[in-house]
Structures are given as C-alpha cells and as structure tokens.
C-alpha cells in the first residue's frame, strides 16, 4: 500500500510539472504570436509611410500605386486589430502564471487632443483620510488628469425667428419686420442642414434614404421626399455659382477632359451613361488662374456630347485618344479648331500591362512571361516622368527651356527606338499594338509631343482623372443614377464640390456659408462666394458655418 501511495504521489507530481510546462509553453506561444503580429503591423506601417513619403516627394504616381496605398492601409487596419487581439490573449495567459511577464506592445505616441475641443471636467471624490495611517490631516498637493475622447450624438435644434407685430394708435395700421429670407423656397431647413444633406449625398455618397434612416434614429423624422425636395431647391439656388465656375473653366486656354461610366436606371435595368469632366488647373506651370472643374452627364458616349460641352471654346485639350473628340480638332471648326495634347499615362499603361510582373503572378501566370520590349518602353517613358517631376510648379517659360534641353532628346530617342522595334514585329503582337497607339493615326505622335513646345502643357491627363476618382469610388455606394435629371443634378453638384476641394476648401462649410449668404447678396458680389475667393477672405464664414 505504501508503494502504491508513493507511486500515486510521484505521478501527481510529474503531472503537475507537465501541466506547469504546458502552461508555460502556452504563455510563450501567446507572447510569440503577439510579437509576430505586432512586428508585421509595424512593418506594414513603415512600408505605408515610405509609400506616402515617396508619393509626396515625387508627386502623383500611377493609379496602381494609389490603389496599392489604399490596400496597404486596409491591411494595416487588419494587422493592428490582430496584434491587439494577440496582445490581450498573451496578457490573459500570463495572468494565470505568476512567473511569466506579460507581453507589452510598443505603440506609437498618441498626439494630444486638439485644444478647440470642449473639455468636460469630472472630479472623482477625494479621500477624507490617509490611506496608510487613517489620519484626517491630509492636504491637496496636485492632481493627475486622464483625458478620454468621447463622441456625443449630433445635436439638433429648431430656430424660432420671432417677428413682433405693432399697431398704430393713430391710424390703426400694423407694423411688422419683414420675414427673413431662406436659402430655398418653403424654407424649413437651415443652411448648415442643407449643406450636410448635399455633401453627404454627393460628397460622401450617402443616398437620401440612408440619411433619412439615420436622422430617424436620432429622433428627427424627415422623409425621403422631403429631403429630395430640398436637394432640388438647393440646385436651383446654387445655379449662379455653378454658372460662374463654368465660365471660369471655359475661359482657360488649356483644359483637361475625361469621362467615366455611370449606371443609369432605365426600364427596370441599368444602362451605361457617362459623366464628363473638364478641368482647369494652371498650378503645374505657376499660372494665376484658380483650379476648377465642371461636369456634364449624358446617357451615352456619343461624340456629339463633347461638341456640345465645348461649343464656342478653343484652345488645347489634354485628353486620351477617344475618337469622340475628333470633331473638335477638325480644321474647319468654328470659331477655331481645338489642339490635341495626348496623355502619356495612357500610353505607358498599355506597355505596363505587358510588363507587370506582379500582375502576372496575381493572375496565376509565370512571372517570367513578360515582354522585355514593353519593360524597356516603360523604363524609357519613366525617364520622362522623372524629369517632369523636377519642373512641376515652375513657370511656363522655365518649363519650356528645360524641356527643349532635356526632354526632347529623350522623346526623340524613344520614338526612334519604338519605330525600330515595331518594324521587327507582327502587327498582331500585343507590344506592336501598344506602339501603334502612339503612331497609328496621322498627327498622333505630334499630339503626344506637343508638351515639348508649350510650357503650359502637362505630360498627363491625371488632373481630369483625379477629378473623376471620387465618382469611381462612390459608384459602389449609390449603385446607379435614378434618372436623366438625377444624373444632371449629380454633375451639377460635383462641379461645386470638386472645385471646392481643388481649392483646399471644406465643401460642406463652403456650401453652408454660400446658402446662408446668397439670399442677401447682390448679383454683382456673387464672385466673392467662389471657392478661390472664399478661401482667401472667407475664413470667418467657414468657422461660423
């Protein structure tokens, strides 16, 4: 019996040792997981910072790089969440074992909360006696303050404008101040609420039905038809500002033009409609004209639309090689033919698709199945882009001198090399098709190299593509335009919002101030409300809004 008891005791001791080892191993594993996920998050964070710094240093890059940064940010969010989960798991395991210290992740230093935020002071009841000896003879020597950022629901209020009535004891007539003007007819909504509705619908891509649901949860019941009524009224009220922006854009001698697809609801299905944009941006050559954009909507992509949009305008149009612009370039066009300046980003993209190693791997193709000619073409075109980054923002005269000295030899050498490569290829070769994009029609190469003789021109049409990017992002939220009029109204509002953003103005604050001031401002002073004028003299209005 003693042997059996001693054997049981030995086995129990061995089991306890094994359990302790297992617990220690579990704690070590949890810590290792926390370290690994934290390291991965840190690596992703550093890569993201490097990508952003490169973009700031070298300017706007390709669409692919912009999408890559967005994807990296999403991955960083997931890795940070994983790291926090693993850290908590490691702390829980370590708490069970007294001899194992918990893993503590190094976090970046948090910035202090902005000074303009309202502070609410909550004072915890002070002790009345010493926690050590119980004496009541205690004196305050200081305090520690812990700040916690909190959000409260949106505050709604009803403004009651009172107009007192007075009667005259002599003539018995009634005197009363006139009723205040409202931004819209049937004015039940204030300018800040109207700006919120407009910006959330067209700037944040939140359809009115979703806005109505959120307002109802906040205790304010506004129907979809009520909100839609105010959107239409605001479009009418803001028409003079839109007209001024359009006139400013069409006063430019150089424009960027582009279009993108917009699904249009038609008879229970959707059809491919189009949003067109024309952008004035003189900043690359230090021009004095403020940047602006205006948009048009059309149910299709017929060439009649650019002719209508730019009727009476002449100058240089920077765009892609879409054939719908060709009537603008006709020699007999009145008042004058438009000159074409084609986009090098579009030309580069065709070669890049044939030389994209990462893209091949993503599609399951061998990484070595790329075209060396396309790869070399991308490298030669990138030399032009690298040069252009160095002269961005300089005057047109400086840019022209630098281009003739440095960019022209690069472009001429590229042309000769492309022609030599094409002569050795079949016309069905994908690389030959990419080369033909730059030479297949008469005057195509001249349009690509027009920037060499005009310092105002840009190498790419990225200004127009940036203006359309927000629409491309929003399509997933609002799915389709509900009608032809709805598409035209969206184009109208995009003209205002994108122009405000191009001038580094908060569109919502600007719209609120414009809607508040327009009823009482004479027509001659309307230019004061344009974003580029408001940005220099309207900070007071912006803060008030």
- State the CB neighbour count (10 A cutoff) for residue 460: 22
Residue 543 pLDDT: 45
Q: Indicate if the alpha-carbon torsion angle 354, 355, 361, 367 is positive or negative.
A: positive
Is this structure's pTM higher than 0.85? no
Residue 541 pLDDT: 43
User: What would the pLDDT profile of 353-366 be if each residue is shown by its tens digit?
Assistant: 888 766 655 666 66
Helices (H), 392-483: 396-402, 408-422, 430-439, 444-448, 462-478
Percent of the chain with pLDDT over 70: 79
- State the CB neighbour count (10 A cutoff) for residue 202: 25
pLDDT in 10s for each residue of the chain, 545 residues: 567 777 777 777 777 777 777 777 777 777 777 777 667 666 766 666 666 666 665 555 454 555 555 555 555 555 555 565 566 666 666 666 555 454 454 555 567 878 888 888 888 888 888 888 888 888 888 888 878 777 777 889 888 888 888 888 888 888 888 887 888 876 788 999 999 999 998 998 888 888 999 999 988 898 888 888 888 889 889 999 999 999 999 999 999 999 998 888 766 667 888 999 999 999 999 888 999 999 999 999 998 999 999 999 999 999 999 988 999 999 989 889 999 999 999 999 999 888 876 665 566 666 556 788 998 999 999 999 999 999 999 999 999 999 999 999 999 999 999 999 999 988 888 899 999 999 988 889 999 999 999 999 999 999 999 999 878 776 666 556 667 888 888 899 999 999 999 999 999 999 999 999 988 889 999 999 999 998 644 444 444 44
One DSSP character per residue, 328-350 reads: GG-TT-SS-PPEEEE-HHHHHHH
Residue linked to tokens 């059309």: 298
3-class secondary structure, 159: coil
Residue 149 backbone dihedrals phi, psi, to 5 degrees:
-80, 130
Q: Which residues does 532 contact at the CB level (< 8 Å), separation at least 6? A: 290, 291, 292, 503
Query: Which two three-digit tokens encode residue 539?
Result: 């900070």
- State the CB neighbour count (10 A cutoff) for residue 524: 7
Residue 135 pLDDT: 85
* Whether 220 contacts 240, CB under 8 Å: no
Give the integer Cα–Cα distance in Å for 143 and 39.
37
* Whether 499 contacts 292, CB under 8 Å: yes
Q: Indicate if the alpha-carbon torsion angle 138, 141, 143, 144 is positive or negative.
A: negative
């Amino acid at each position: 019996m003693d042997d059996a008891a001693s054997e049981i005791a030995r086995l129990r001791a061995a089991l306890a040792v094994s359990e302790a080892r297992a617990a220690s191993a579990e704690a070590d594993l949890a810590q290792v997981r926390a370290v690994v996920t934290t390291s991965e998050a840190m690596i992703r964070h550093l890569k993201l910072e490097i990508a952003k710094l490169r973009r700031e240093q070298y300017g706007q890059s390709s669409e692919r790089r912009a999408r890559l940064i967005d994807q990296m940010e999403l991955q960083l969010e997931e890795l940070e969440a994983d790291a926090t989960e693993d850290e908590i798991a490691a702390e829980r395991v370590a708490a069970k074992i007294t001899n194992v210290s918990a893993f503590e992740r190094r976090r970046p230093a948090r910035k202090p909360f902005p000074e303009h935020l309202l502070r609410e002071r909550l004072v915890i009841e002070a002790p009345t006696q010493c926690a050590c000896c119980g004496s009541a003879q205690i004196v305050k020597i200081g305090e520690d303050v812990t700040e916690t950022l909190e959000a409260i629901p949106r505050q709604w209020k009803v403004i009651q404008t009172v107009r007192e009535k007075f009667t005259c004891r002599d003539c018995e007539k009634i005197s009363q101040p006139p009723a205040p003007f409202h931004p819209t007819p049937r004015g039940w909504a204030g300018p800040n609420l109207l700006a919120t509705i407009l910006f959330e619908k067209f700037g944040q891509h939140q359809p009115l039905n979703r806005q109505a649901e959120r307002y109802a949860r906040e205790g304010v019941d506004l129907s979809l038809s009520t909100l839609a009524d105010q959107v239409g009224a605001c479009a009418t009220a803001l028409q003079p500002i839109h007209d001024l922006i359009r006139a400013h854009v069409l006063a430019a001698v150089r424009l960027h033009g582009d279009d993108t697809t917009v699904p249009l609801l038609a008879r229970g299905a959707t059809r491919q409609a189009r949003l067109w944009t024309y952008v004035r941006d003189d900043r690359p050559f230090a021009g004095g004209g403020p940047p602006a954009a205006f948009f048009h909507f059309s149910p299709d992509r017929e060439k009649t639309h650019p002719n209508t949009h730019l009727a009476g305008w002449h100058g240089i149009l920077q765009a892609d090689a879409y054939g719908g612009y060709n009537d603008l370039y006709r020699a007999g066009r009145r008042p004058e033919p438009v000159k074409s300046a084609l986009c090098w980003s579009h030309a580069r993209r065709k070669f890049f698709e044939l030389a994209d190693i990462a893209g091949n791997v993503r599609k399951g193709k061998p990484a070595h199945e790329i075209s060396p000619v396309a790869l070399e073409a991308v490298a030669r075109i990138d030399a032009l882009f690298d040069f252009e980054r160095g002269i961005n923002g300089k005057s047109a005269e400086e840019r022209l001198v630098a281009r003739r000295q440095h960019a022209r030899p690069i472009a001429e050498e590229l042309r000769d090399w492309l022609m030599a490569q094409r002569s050795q290829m079949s016309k069905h070769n994908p690389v030959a098709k990419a080369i033909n994009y730059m030479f297949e029609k008469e005057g195509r190469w001249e349009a690509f190299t027009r920037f060499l003789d005009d310092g105002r021109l840009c190498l790419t049409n990225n200004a127009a593509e940036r203006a359309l990017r927000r629409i491309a992002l929003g399509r997933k939220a609002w799915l389709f335009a509900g009608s032809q009029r709805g598409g035209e109204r969206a184009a109208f509002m995009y003209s205002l919002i994108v122009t405000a953003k191009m001038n580094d103005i908060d569109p919502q604050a600007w719209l609120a101030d414009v809607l508040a001031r327009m009823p009482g401002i004479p027509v001659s002073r309307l230019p004061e409300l344009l974003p580029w004028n408001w940005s220099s003299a309207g900070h007071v209005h912006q803060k008030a809004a």
